[in-house]
Amino acid sequence: MAVGIFDSGLGGLTVLDAVQKRLPEVDFLYYGDNSHAPYGVRDAEDIFQLTQAAVHNMWDRGCDLVILACNTASAAALRRMQEAGVPQGKRVLGVFVPLIEALTEREWGDNSPPREVAVKHVALFATPATVASRAFQRELAFRAIGVDVEAQACGGVVDAIEDGDMILAEALVKSHVDALLRKMPKPEAAILGCTHYPLMEPVFQAALGADVQVFSQGRLVADSLAHYLDRRPQMLGTGAGGYVTTGNPARVSSRATQFLRREITFDAA
């Protein structure tokens, strides 16, 4: 029995690592679309088609529940997939939900009118495609009022991380934080809106300052998934766990092993 975790590349491994620690009894199938990564510079239609193909592949493999551990896919494809209709007994969920829940301190199913929340000034760091979609701002506006969100498109960070160039990634993060602080000098909270970014969380925190609360997705998604499966244990699925990629399995396995600091072996998707 396996739950599917999908990402365009390696960033979703930060989510996978968190959910494996939170739910050690659950098997997970990780699907990396590495041959088409990064998604963050693609247009919305391209992202939708790639995401839909990957999710259907995972459903076919017996993953009744698939988590889009990719903010770009969540922003550009999730709502459209859900509106088009999901097969009976299947589910696809995104990673925005736990972030919104944490920021607004209300559960996703709470459909009461938007209300005031404690945090008023929020910095959003995300890929260019996620920023362009305005999906985070849209979902936040349904639940909170009076929140100012300043988004910063962090071009190049995902590419540097995927290439293993952490020195370049650190320099780019500092540059993007500086750019955001020129637009919003005193954010109260910062959203790391890409699953690659937790790998650079200490750099974001240091550049933003200790008084800025940084929301990273791994733990939030893990807790949310645990609650979801408690309510819907039938969504555990029937497929086998493991790691598959559309890219070069040997290269992706090497990078993944470096990311998680434990042996990870990918097979061809």
Span 11-21, average pLDDT? 95
What's the confidence (pLDDT) of residue 71? 92
Domain 2-94+218-268: which topology? Rossmann fold (3.40.50)
130 marked ligand binding residue: no
111 marked ligand binding residue: no
DSSP label at residue 12: T
Domain 98-216: which topology? Rossmann fold (3.40.50)
Span 187-196, average pLDDT? 94
71 marked ligand binding residue: yes
CA atoms lying within 13 Å on the CB side of residue 200 = 33
pLDDT tens sequence across 212-268 = 999 988 989 999 999 899 999 999 988 899 999 999 999 999 999 988 889 999 999
Residue 181's pLDDT band (cuts 50, 70, 90): very high
What's the confidence (pLDDT) of residue 25? 94
What's the confidence (pLDDT) of residue 108? 58
Span 25-37, average pLDDT? 96
Span 35-57, average pLDDT? 95
Alpha carbon distance 7, 56 (integer Å): 14
**Which whole-number Å values give the CA distances from 237 to 9, 61, 218, 223, 229, in the listed order?**
23, 9, 22, 19, 11
What's the confidence (pLDDT) of residue 49? 97
- Decide: helix, strand or coil at residue 68: strand
What's the confidence (pLDDT) of residue 149? 95
257 marked ligand binding residue: no
pLDDT tens sequence across 139-166 = 888 888 989 999 999 999 999 998 889 9
More confident residue, 189 or 101: 189
Residue 61 has pLDDT above 70, yes or no: yes
Strands (E), 131-207: 144-145, 148-153, 189-192
What's the confidence (pLDDT) of residue 109? 63
72 marked ligand binding residue: yes
**Which whole-number Å values give the CA distances from 37 to 112, 160, 165, 226, 229, in the listed order?**
38, 12, 16, 28, 29
pLDDT tens sequence across 88-142 = 999 999 988 888 888 888 775 677 788 888 899 999 999 999 999 999 898 888 8
Residue ranges of the chain that CATH labels 3.40.50.1860: 2-94+218-268, 98-216
Catalytic residue among 50, 55, 70, 203: 70
Residue 196 has pLDDT above 70, yes or no: yes
The reported pTM is 0.89
Catalytic residue among 37, 103, 194, 203: 194
4 marked ligand binding residue: no
Alpha carbon distance 264, 238 (integer Å): 22
DSSP string for 196-217:
TGGGGHHHHHHHH-TTSEEE-H
**Active site annotation includes 63:** no
